[in-house]
Structure 1
Amino acid sequence: MGMFNSMRKPRGFNHQYIYVDERKEKLAKMEEKARRDLGMLPEKEFNPEDIRGKFIEGTTHLKRRKASGRKPASFGIILIIIAFLLYLWHYLATGSWSF
């Protein structure tokens, strides 16, 4: 029995990119944006991938949820739990399982 209580979780997987320099890419994007603002480059057409994830980056609680990988409880599961608790309460109050 003691063996099952002392088992640790395995170490999580964390892949570090070797050949990617995020700082350099960010700097290149800033330079490109500045050149577009100054009129040196033509306007860039709309791309939905450019705005993907911007809302999550702006809120701290969503960033934490995304980092932990936790999913929110669905509305259906919450309703099922409430219905079960009401049914159990009815049984405890009346002593019979039927309505």
Structure 2
Amino acid sequence: MFTMRKPRGFNHQYIYVDERKEKLAKMEESAKRELGMLPEKEFSPEDIRGKFVEGTTHLKRRKESGRKPIHLGVILVIIALLIYLWYAISTGII
């Protein structure tokens, strides 16, 4: 009675993309490369981009939500400002 119900989750189903078919094609291509039927694929940084984020759940959630981490510079400026205010108040400048 006094609790808020959680809204229904959003689950977008792609209409024109068959992920299973793409995964099978990728597996087939890698198997052919291993057997020597296709030439070796050149290294591309795009192949490894985002693999660390996919492997961790908390980074994946943060990427989906779009939150940005606070930069170290912003934290240092806030700490410096607080130290200055503490010094000014304790010495009676303000």
* TM-score, normalisation: structure 2: 0.76
Matched, 1:82 2:82: no
Gaps of 5+ in 1: 1-12
1-side partners of 2:92 and 2:21: how far apart?
70
2-side partners of 1:89 and 1:14: how far apart?
50
1-side partners of 2:11 and 2:61: how far apart?
17
What is the match of residue 33 of structure 1?
Answer: 30
Alignment of 1:1-99 (within 5 A): 16-97=13-94
Q: Report the secondary structure of 1:45's partner residue.
A: coil
What is the CA distance between 1:66 and its match in structure 2?
A: 0.7
Percentage of identical aligned residues: 78
Instruction: Provide the aligned C-alpha RMSD in A.
Output: 1.9
1-side partners of 2:61 and 2:42: how far apart?
32
What is the match of residue 7 of structure 2?
Answer: none
Q: Which moved more, 1:75-84 or 1:13-22?
A: 13-22
Gaps of 5+ in 2: 1-9
